[in-house]
Amino acid sequence: MDQELIKQCTAEAQKWLSPAFDAETQAEVKAMLDAEDKTALIDAFYQNLEFGTGGLRGIMGAGTNRMNKYIVGMATQGFANYILKAFPGKKDISVVVGHDCRNNSRLFAETVADIFSANGIKAYLFESLRPTPEISFAIRQLGAQAGVNITASHNPREYNGYKAYWDDGAQVLAPHDTGIIDEVNKVTIDQVKFTPNNDLIQIIGGEMDVDYLNAVHEALVDQEVINRQKDLCIVYSPLHGTGRVIIPAALRTWGFQNINVVKEQMVIDGNFPTVVSPNPENSEAMTLGMKLGDKLNADLVLASDPDADRLAVVCRDPKGEWCILNGNQTALMLSYYIIENKKKLGQLKGNEFMVRTIVTTETIAEIAKRNNVEIRDVYTGFKWIAREIKLSEGVKKYIGGGEESFGYLPFDKVRDKDSPASICLLCEIAAWAKDNGMTLYDLLMKIYLDYGFVYQNAISVTKPGKSGADEIKQMMEDFRKTPPTSLGGSPVVCVKDYKTLKMVCDGKESDIDMPATSNVLQWFTADGTKISVRPSGTEPKIKFYVEVKGEMECPKCYPSATAEAKAKVDAIKKDLGL
C-alpha cells in the first residue's frame, strides 16, 4: 500500500479530530486511523468531493471524500461566497433549497438553508421532499440567483449528493462550476457560518406545487386524445421517492382518471426497502409495479427514480407480457410523438429544435431531419441541454430533448430532466396509440419499420476507490493510444475524441465543434455501429454505450433482429476486452 498516500490521508483525517467536528464524527475518523487496514481511511480522505456532471455526490460518512454535514457546510459556504462575488451590490439575493427522500437529506437541506441565511442570502426552503424538476422550476419562478438540491438521484441507498443550480434553473456550467470549486477549496471548517438568520429562511411548498403543475400541463400535445382514452389503466410507482404526490396529481390534471399506485413504494424511505437499488434502469425495481399491472390488466406501468427526474416505462408485447423499454426507446418514442403529432396538429412553425446527448440513439436525429426539425448534439448531462434552451430563448422554440439514461424534458419551463411531464406525455402517447388500435410496443415497432431498427446496450464497469479511479484513467489512456481498428467484424471508419476535440473520419482529421472538452471517445464503424466510452462523472464507473443497426422487415421480426444485434454486441464487447 502507498505509504505516502497513507501519510497524506492520515494528516487530513487528524484535522477531523478537532472540536469543530462532533463527537460521532471524531469517533468514526479515529476508528479509521486506528484500523490496521487503511483502505477505509484512504477511500474517505484521498480526495475532496468535486462537482462532476451531476454535482457533488458520494457515500455518506465521515471524511473529505464523503457526504456529511461538514462537507455540505464547506461546499455551501464556498457556494455562498461565489454567489456574493457573482452578484456584487445586488440586494435581496436568494436561493432555492430542496431535497429528496434519502437518509440525511432533510438535515443536509436545512444545513444548506442555515448557511445561506447566515451569509445574508435568502433561502427558499421546501417544506418537505420535492422532485428535482420542481426545484429547477422554482428557481426560475422566484427569480432566485441559484439553488441547491440534496439528492443522489438513482444511486444506491448509501449515497447522497448536492446538485448546484444557477439562476437559469440549470445545473452549473463553466465558469461557475470551476469558480464554485475554487471558492469551496478555500474554505476551512472554522469559516463555515452554521448559525442561521431565521428571518432569511422562507418555507415554500403548496403554492409552488400548483404553479409547477400548471407549467407541466404545457407539455400536453393533444387533449382530445386523452379525453377519449381517460380510462387508460395506469400503474405508477415513485420508488419511495419524491414523485409520490406530484405525478398522480399531474396525471389527473391532464385528464387521466384510472391511476393506480404501488402502495408499498408510496412509503417515503431512504433505505428503499422494496428494491435492491432505486434505479428505474434496473428491471428489478419494476417488479412490484408489473405485479400490480397484472392484477389490474393495466395498459402500462411507470416509475420515477427517488428525485423524480428519471422515469421508466413498461408496456405489453403482442403476447400480453410486460416489456421494459430502455432509455433510448423511451426518448425515441417521446421525440417521434412530439414531432409527428405537433406536425399533424399544425403546431410546428419552422423554428423548433430538439436536443439529444452524443451517446443517445442516432434515430432521434433521423426523425428530426426527415421532418425538418433542427437537432442539436450535446454532452451527457442535462445542463448541456439546458444551455441550448437558454442560448435560443426567445429566438427558437425548444420542443424536447433527452438522454439514454432515462431522462427527458418535453417543455422549456424546467431546465433539468422532468419525469412528471415526461410520464404525463407518455400516457398521452399510450392513449393516442390505443386510439389508433395500437399499444406502445406496436408504436415502437412502427418507428423501427419507418426509420430502421437499432439496438442499444449500455455496459458499466465499476471500479471503486482510489485504485479504481486510477484503473479507469489508464483504460481511457490505453484506448486513446491504441484505438480499435475493427469492432464486431466491421472496420472503424471514424474516431471522435472530445478531450482533444478532434475527429478522424475516413483518414481525414477535422475539428469537433463543442463548447468545451470532455473525456469521451466515440468509434463509428462502416456498418453503422456507434460505440461511446466515458468515465462517469458521479459514480466510480467507466461506461460503454453501444448502438448497432440491424434488419427488421416486419413487427414479428423484432425478436430475431434483436438476437442478431445482441450477438454483434457480444462480439464488440470481446473486441474491447469487456
pLDDT tens, position by position, 142-173: 999 999 999 999 889 999 999 999 999 999 98
Query: What is the Cα–Cα distance from 478 to 460, expressed in whole angstroms?
Result: 18
pLDDT given for residue 477 in this prediction: 95
* pLDDT higher than threshold 90 for residue 389: yes
Residue 429 C-beta-side C-alpha neighbours within 13 Å: 28
Cα–Cα distances (Å) from 571 to 42, 189, 241, 522, in that order, read 38, 52, 39, 17
Map grid coordinates 411531464 to a residue.
Answer: 421
Please check whether residue 79 is in contact with residue 180, taking contact to mean a CB–CB distance below 8 angstroms.
yes
- Summarised one tens digit per residue, pLDDT across range 312-328 is 999 999 999 999 999 99
* Average pLDDT, integer, range 469-474: 91
Map grid coordinates 487503511 to a residue.
Answer: 38
Which three cell numbers, joined as nine digits, stand for 399? 420542443
Question: To the nearest 10°, the Cα dihedral for 508, 513, 519, 525?
Answer: -40
In which band, very low, low, confident or very high, does the pLDDT at 221 lie, cut at 50, 70 and 90? very high
- With a pLDDT cut of 70, the percent of the chain lying above it is 99
123-150 b/e (C-beta count within 10 Å ≥ 16 → b): bbbbeebbbbbbbbbbbbbbebbbbbbb
Tell me the whole-structure pTM to 2 decimals.
0.94
Please check whether residue 245 is in contact with residue 282, taking contact to mean a CB–CB distance below 8 angstroms.
no
- Summarised one tens digit per residue, pLDDT across range 422-459 is 999 999 999 999 999 999 999 999 999 999 999 999 99
Taking alpha carbons only, the member of 405, 574, 407, 539 closest to residue 461 is 539
Taking alpha carbons only, the member of 142, 133, 92 closest to residue 407 is 133
pLDDT given for residue 50 in this prediction: 74
- Summarised one tens digit per residue, pLDDT across range 326-356 is 999 999 999 999 999 999 999 999 999 999 9
Window from 94-98, 286-290, 361-365, 536-540 with minimum mean pLDDT: 536-540
Q: Is 559 exposed, middle or buried (0-12, 13-18, 19+ CB in 10 A)?
A: exposed
**3-state SS assignment for residue 543:** strand
* Average pLDDT, integer, range 526-545: 90
In which band, very low, low, confident or very high, does the pLDDT at 513 lie, cut at 50, 70 and 90? very high
Taking alpha carbons only, the member of 302, 384, 297, 373 closest to residue 340 is 373
The rounded radius of gyration (Å) of the Cα atoms in the chain is 24
- What is the residue-averaged pLDDT of the chain? 95
Please check whether residue 195 is in contact with residue 253, taking contact to mean a CB–CB distance below 8 angstroms.
no
In which band, very low, low, confident or very high, does the pLDDT at 469 lie, cut at 50, 70 and 90? confident
pLDDT given for residue 538 in this prediction: 63
pLDDT given for residue 314 in this prediction: 98
* Average pLDDT, integer, range 115-137: 98
Map grid coordinates 446538485 to a residue.
Answer: 163
pLDDT given for residue 133 in this prediction: 98
pLDDT given for residue 1 in this prediction: 64
* pLDDT higher than threshold 70 for residue 52: no
* pLDDT higher than threshold 90 for residue 250: yes
Residue type, 239: L
Query: What is the Cα–Cα distance from 458 to 544, expressed in whole angstroms?
Result: 6
pLDDT given for residue 281 in this prediction: 85
Task: Write down the number of H helices and E strands in the chain.
Answer: 18, 23
Active site residues: 153
List, in order of start, the domains of the chain with CATH numbers: 47-211 (3.40.120.10), 231-451 (3.40.120.10), 453-575 (3.30.310)
Pairing of strands 259-261, 146-150: unpaired
pLDDT given for residue 177 in this prediction: 86
pLDDT given for residue 55 in this prediction: 67
Query: What is the Cα–Cα distance from 76 to 55, expressed in whole angstroms?
Result: 12
- With a pLDDT cut of 90, the percent of the chain lying above it is 91
Provide the angle, in degrees to the nearest 10, between the axes of the packed helices 419-435 and 206-216: 40
